[in-house]
Amino acid sequence: MTKENIINDKNQLVDKKLVQKTWFRYWLSAEMSNSYERLQSLSFCYSMIPVLKKLYPEENDLKEALQRHLNFFNTEPTWGAPILGISIAMEEEKSLTKEIPGEAITALKTGLMGPLAGIGDTIDWGTLKTIIYGIAVTFASTGNILGAFIPVLFTVLTFIIGSCLTRFGYTTGKNSVKSILQQGWIKELIFGTSILGLFMMGALTSNFVKITTPLTFAIADGQNIAVQDILNSIAPGILPLCVVFGIYYFLTKGKVNYGLLAIGIVIVCLLCSLLGIL
C-alpha cells in the first residue's frame, strides 16, 4: 500500500468512543496529578494509554509513545482539550504511516498549551464560573435551595465543552496531519511550534520571574547610587534574564534532578535575601 493510499484511507484505528474515553480520563485526572517537575504530564499520559495501546501493539513502540507524553505539559484542562484530540490524531497517523516524528507531537503540544491555557482561564475561570457562582450566591442569599445546586452547572458545562473540543481537535487534527504529510510540512511544523513555545516561555518568564537588588553605593556628598537603577539603564529585567539563562545552563548539563534544583533555588534565594543582595 502506498503512502497516498494510507493517508486517504478512511478506516480509523481510533473511534469516537475511544476519543471520549480519553477525554473522560483527562477530565478526571488533569488537576489531580500535578507535580512540580512535569505538572499535568502524568494525567495526559494516563489519558492517552487506551489509545496508545491500540495504536502500538509492539512493546518498544508503546514505551516510546508513553515516554513522549510524559514530557512537561500544562494547560487549562477544558479549553486545552483540542491538544488531546490533535495528539490522538497525530499518534494515529504516526502508527499508520511512520512519517510523523515524535518530536512533532511534542512540539505541537508545547506550542499550543500556553495560548489555549490563556483562553481557558479567561472564559472558564474568569467569566463562566463568575457568572454561575454569582447566580448561585444570589439564590443562596435568599434561602433558596437552588443556590446549593447551581454551581454544579459549571462542572457540567465545562465537561461538555471539553468533550466537544476533544472531538473537534481529533477531527481537525486528523485532516491537518494528512495535509501536512501530503505537503511535506513536518519540519516547518516542528520549527513553527517550537518558536511559538519559546515565545510563550519568554512571556511567562517576564511575568513570573521577579528579581531586584537593594544594593546601593555611597558616593560623595552623602548621595547613594542604586545598583538596580544602573541595571535598569542597561537592560530592564537583566537580573531575571541572567537567572533564567543560569538555570537553563544547568538543565543542559545532562540529567538533572528537578526537585533538587528547585530546593537549591529556594536556598540560594533565602541566602541572598538574608545577605541583602536580592
Instruction: Quick: pLDDT tens for 94-145.
Output: 888 887 888 888 888 888 888 888 778 878 887 788 888 888 888 888 888 9
Considering the domain architecture, whether residues 157 and 253 belong to the same structural domain is answered as: no
Residues 120 and 179 both lie in one domain: yes
Could you tell me the residue range of the domain that residue 220 belongs to? 210-275
| Range of weakest confidence among 131-145, 183-197, 226-240 | 183-197
Which of 142, 167, 201 terminates a domain? The answer is 201
Distance, CA of 81 to CA of 166 (rounded, Å): 5
Together in a domain, 188 and 249 = no
pLDDT of residue 7: 36
267 shares a domain with 230: yes
Place of cell 548539563: 253
Regarding whether 239 and 216 lie in a shared domain, the answer is: yes
Pairing relationship of beta strands 224-226 and 216-218 according to DSSP bridges: antiparallel
The residues, ordered by sequence, that sit 6+ positions from 44 with a Cβ below 8 Å of its Cβ are 26, 30, 69, 73, 84
Q: Do residue 10 and residue 132 come from a single domain?
A: yes
Domain edge (last residue) among 201, 231, 246: 201
Shared-domain flag, residues 139 and 221: no
Question: Which sign does the torsion angle of CA 127, 130, 134, 136 carry?
Answer: positive
Query: Do 123 and 168 belong together in one domain?
Result: yes
Mean pLDDT for 50-68 is: 91
**pLDDT level of residue 69 (50, 70, 90 thresholds):** very high
Q: Verify that 184 and 241 share a domain, yes or no.
A: no
**Sign, CA torsion 113/85/63/99:** negative
Do 224 and 191 share a structural domain? Answer: no
Same domain? For 13 and 147 the reply is: yes
Q: What residue has cell string 443556590?
A: 147
Per-residue pLDDT band at 274 (split at 50, 70, 90): confident
Tell me if residue 58 falls in helix, strand or coil: coil
Cβ neighbours around 203 below 10 Å, total: 12
| Same-domain check for residues 22 and 45 | yes
Q: What are phi and psi of 219, to 5 degrees?
A: -125, -170
Whether pLDDT at 172 is above 60: yes
Dist. CA 184–CA 166, nearest whole Å = 26
The pTM is what? Answer: 0.63
When comparing pLDDT for 206 and 69, which is higher? 69
Average pLDDT, the chain: 79
Residue 221, CA distances (Å) to 99, 152, 214, 218, 224 in order: 72, 67, 20, 9, 9
**What's residue 5's pLDDT?**
39
More confident residue, 237 or 68: 68
Quote the number of domains for the chain.
2
**C-alpha cell, 103:** 518530536
Contact 109, 83 (CB under 8 A): yes
With a CB cutoff of 8 Å and minimum separation 6, the contacts of 176 are 86, 89
Note whether 6 and 98 are within 8 A (CB): no
pLDDT of residue 226: 77
Task: Single out the residue in 144, 166, 201 at which a domain terminates.
Answer: 201
